[in-house]
């Protein structure tokens, strides 16, 4: 027994949360045995939108889209589906609770199906343009799209989620133990709740005491009372409830029994996080630790290097294979390649091994980069249906730890695996990068040879025009350094022939900071710009 316990202790995964707090940015990394598994970033000066609740004003109703556009005080109006305009209790229940509710409805109404959605006429009557509505942001603005909102409010606490506008009392689907579910439902039934406010137990609530739930409920009701006060006193549009900052959310959502330590490098935030953790338990408080090393905390734990590798377009696999990840506005394309992997068995086994490793890394990359929408995996072709099913199962297992909702389809005849991942906010790359001034978002710039050809083509046109008009013309061409190198070497003979053919002199000037594709052609005598490509 002692040896078995020692083996379990040695093989248990070490899980740490590393927090780097700076004036302009807060970064959080979740590490498992030294490997980066989750990454979050937040900028204090930016408003926290997802999860925040607003009092907005309906601007217009679009029946064709089955949606309303709501002014919540941002640059772009929020998008609100008609079916999200009224609280829907059944949509928030888990399977057991929904079955129980439907049975009650059967006895009262002769049927337990969810109430029909509002018709266009009912929406226009209840929510005419100019009317006020309370909504919560479920997806932040992405690219040219405004935020998406819902009237189904959910305010998370440590153990509970409060759902104003409903009367439900449910338990998270992820709590599977039947006895524990019954215990939690008994606790819920005894909690004092205002009319028309529902509660659902979060997964972390499994095993928590009735006293912990009561304490959590008091905090949620205080937030609810503050929201109601803001609704009455603040002018529309306005924010009536804002999600807490990243560090507080780490304590609320991430500080669980399987976390060994939360290590933070900022003294002030360290003290506030210890105070928050002490409200959970003494043990939770001891997990909050201060880092005061000479080197940066992310560098000390080897996170900076892992971040650099994780966000590259090409992601290496331990086997020698690699992924190529391309992110567009609505679709993520992932190409799986064998690379240098040879394998010990036959070719089919080698392909299976690379694909299995690839889908595990894809699940990690989706979490790290916070990317979602439609995801297409171009796997290495597998003939065996058994291997295909195994790869799909491996991906689904790897996605179980993802907090975002996912849906995975079987591998198609073309060898493509389609899946979707819930997207609530901008991806990490979108938050930390801007459009490249050189490739202008295309991902490529023209080669020096291509630019040389364009310059020669434009020169010939201008020289012929000058020759036709019988006037002298000595061109001066301003170019980028890499194009100059090409003209001095591979194309020098062609340019010499061009000078002889038109009996002129070509002058080339290199500008260090010029765009690789940009060039200008001037008349050397007058300095007049005859052609410019930026």
Same domain, 122 and 193: yes
pTM assigned to the model: 0.77
pLDDT at 227: 92
- Indicate the range of 26-40, 88-102, 296-310, 382-396 predicted with least confidence: 88-102
Same domain, 24 and 79: no
DSSP state of 280: T
Query: What does the pLDDT look like over 345-377, one tens digit per residue?
Result: 678 888 888 999 999 999 999 998 888 889 999
Same domain, 287 and 368: no
439 belongs to a structural domain: no
pLDDT at 8: 39
**Most confident by average pLDDT, 55-59, 96-100, 121-125, 419-423:** 55-59
Q: How far is C-alpha 305 from the chain's CA centre? A: 21
Q: End of a domain among 303, 324, 341?
A: 303
**DSSP SS3 for 471:** coil
28 belongs to a structural domain: yes
Q: Band the pLDDT of 143: cuts 50, 70, 90.
A: confident
256 belongs to a structural domain: yes
Give which of 428, 459, 254 is closest to 332, Cα–Cα. Answer: 428
Same domain, 101 and 237: yes
Phi, psi of 8, rounded to the nearest 5 degrees: -60, -40
**DSSP SS3 for 399:** helix
pLDDT reading at 224 higher than 60: yes
Q: Band the pLDDT of 113: cuts 50, 70, 90.
A: very low
Report the share of the chain in percent with pLDDT over 70: 91
Same domain, 132 and 30: no
Full residue range of the structural domain in which residue 9 is found: 2-46+249-303
Cis peptide before 237 (omega within 30 of 0): yes
Same domain, 21 and 70: no
pLDDT reading at 110 higher than 50: no
Query: What does the pLDDT look like over 28-75, one tens digit per residue?
Result: 999 999 899 989 998 887 888 889 999 999 999 999 989 999 999 998
Same domain, 524 and 476: yes
Classify strands 53-62 and 35-42 as parallel, antiparallel or unpaired: unpaired
pLDDT at 343: 62
Q: Band the pLDDT of 95: cuts 50, 70, 90.
A: very low
The domain tally of the chain equals: 4
Contact 52, 78 (CB under 8 A): no
Q: Band the pLDDT of 103: cuts 50, 70, 90.
A: very low
How far is it, in rounded angstroms, from Cα 244 to Cα 50?
11
Contact 327, 340 (CB under 8 A): no
Q: End of a domain among 399, 432, 465?
A: 432
pLDDT at 89: 52
Query: What does the pLDDT look like over 77-87, one tens digit per residue?
Result: 999 999 888 87
Higher per-residue confidence, 327 vs 8: 327
359 belongs to a structural domain: yes
pLDDT at 294: 84
Query: Mean pLDDT, to the nearest integer, of 432-445?
Result: 74
pLDDT at 79: 94
Same domain, 91 and 144: yes
438 belongs to a structural domain: no
**Cβ–Cβ contacts within 10 Å for residue 133, how many?**
21
441 belongs to a structural domain: no
442 belongs to a structural domain: no
Same domain, 137 and 189: yes
**Most confident by average pLDDT, 59-73, 142-156, 160-174, 437-451:** 59-73
Report the share of the chain in percent with pLDDT over 90: 48
For 153, residues 6+ apart whose C-beta sits below 8 A from its C-beta are 53, 87, 134, 136, 163, 164, 165
pLDDT reading at 463 higher than 60: yes
Same domain, 232 and 254: no
Q: Band the pLDDT of 104: cuts 50, 70, 90.
A: very low
Q: 448-468 and 481-488 helices cross at what angle (nearest 10)?
A: 70
CA distance readout (Å), 37 to 97, 229, 313: 33, 40, 18
Q: Which long-range contacts (CB under 8 A, 24 or more apart) does 455-463 make?
A: 455/479, 455/483, 455/487, 455/519, 455/521, 456/491, 456/494, 456/495, 456/498, 458/521, 458/531, 459/498, 459/506, 459/521, 460/498, 462/521, 462/530, 462/531, 463/498, 463/502, 463/504
pLDDT reading at 14 higher than 50: yes
Mean pLDDT value across the chain: 86
Same domain, 237 and 144: yes
Contact 406, 421 (CB under 8 A): yes
pLDDT at 177: 86
CATH code where residue 261 lies: 3.30.420
How far is it, in rounded angstroms, from Cα 188 to Cα 341?
55
Q: 385-399 and 347-369 helices cross at what angle (nearest 10)?
A: 20
Q: Band the pLDDT of 114: cuts 50, 70, 90.
A: very low
pLDDT reading at 92 higher than 70: no
State the DSSP string of 27-46: EEEEEETTEEEEEEEE-TTS
Same domain, 87 and 109: yes
440 belongs to a structural domain: no
């Amino acid at each position: 027994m002692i040896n078995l316990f020692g083996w379990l202790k040695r093989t248990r995964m070490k899980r740490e949360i590393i927090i780097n707090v700076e004036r302009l940015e807060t970064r959080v990394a979740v590490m498992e045995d030294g490997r980066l598994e989750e990454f979050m970033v937040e900028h204090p000066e930016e408003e926290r939108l997802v999860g925040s609740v607003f009092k907005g004003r309906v601007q217009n109703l679009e029946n064709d889209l089955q949606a309303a556009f709501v002014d919540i005080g941002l640059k772009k109006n929020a998008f609100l589906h008609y079916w999200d305009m009224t609280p829907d209790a059944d949509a928030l229940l888990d399977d057991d609770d929904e079955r129980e509710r439907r049975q009650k409805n059967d006895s009262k109404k002769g049927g337990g199906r969810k109430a029909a959605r509002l018709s266009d006429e009912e929406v226009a009557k209840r929510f005419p343009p100019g009317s006020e509505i309370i909504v919560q942001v479920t997806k932040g603005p992405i690219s040219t799209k405004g935020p998406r909102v819902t009237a189904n409010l959910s305010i998370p606490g440590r153990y509970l989620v409060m759902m104003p506008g409903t009367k439900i009392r449910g338990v998270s689907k992820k709590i599977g133990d039947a006895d524990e579910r019954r215990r939690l439902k008994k606790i819920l039934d005894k909690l004092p709740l205002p009319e028309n406010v529902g509660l659902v137990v979060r997964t972390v609530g499994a095993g928590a005491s009735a006293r912990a739930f009561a304490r959590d409920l008091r905090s949620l009701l205080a937030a609810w009372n503050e929201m109601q006060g803001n609704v009455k006193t603040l002018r529309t549009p306005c924010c009536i409830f804002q999600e807490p900052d990243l560090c507080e959310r780490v304590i609320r959502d991430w500080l669980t029994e399987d976390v060994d330590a939360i290590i933070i490098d900022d003294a002030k935030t360290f003290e506030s996080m210890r105070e928050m953790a002490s409200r959970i338990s003494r043990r939770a408080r001891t997990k909050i630790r201060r880092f005061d090393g000479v080197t940066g905390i992310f560098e000390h734990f080897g996170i900076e290097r892992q971040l650099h590798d994780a966000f590259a377009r090409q992601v290496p696999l331990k086997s020698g294979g690699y992924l190529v990840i391309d992110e567009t506005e609505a679709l993520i394309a992932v190409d799986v390649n064998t690379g240098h992997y040879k394998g010990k068995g036959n070719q089919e086994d080698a392909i299976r091994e690379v694909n299995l490793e690839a889908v595990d890394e894809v699940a990690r990359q989706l979490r790290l980069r916070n990317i979602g929408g439609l995801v297409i995996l171009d796997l290495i072709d597998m003939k065996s249906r058994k291997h295909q099913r195994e790869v799909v199962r491996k991906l689904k297992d790897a996605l179980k730890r993802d907090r975002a909702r996912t849906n995975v389809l079987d591998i198609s005849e073309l060898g493509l695996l389609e899946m979707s991942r819930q997207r609530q906010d901008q991806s990490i790359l979108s938050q930390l990068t801007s459009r490249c001034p050189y490739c202008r978002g295309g991902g490529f710039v023209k080669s020096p040879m291509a630019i040389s050809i364009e310059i020669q083509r434009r020169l010939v046109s201008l020289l012929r025009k000058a020759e036709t008009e019988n006037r002298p013309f000595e061109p001066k061409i301003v170019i980028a350094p890499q194009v100059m190198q090409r003209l001095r070497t591979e194309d020098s003979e062609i340019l010499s022939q061009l000078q002889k053919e038109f009996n002129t002199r070509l002058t080339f000037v290199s500008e260090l900071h010029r765009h690789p594709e940009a060039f200008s052609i001037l008349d050397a005598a007058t300095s007049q710009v005859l052609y410019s490509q930026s």
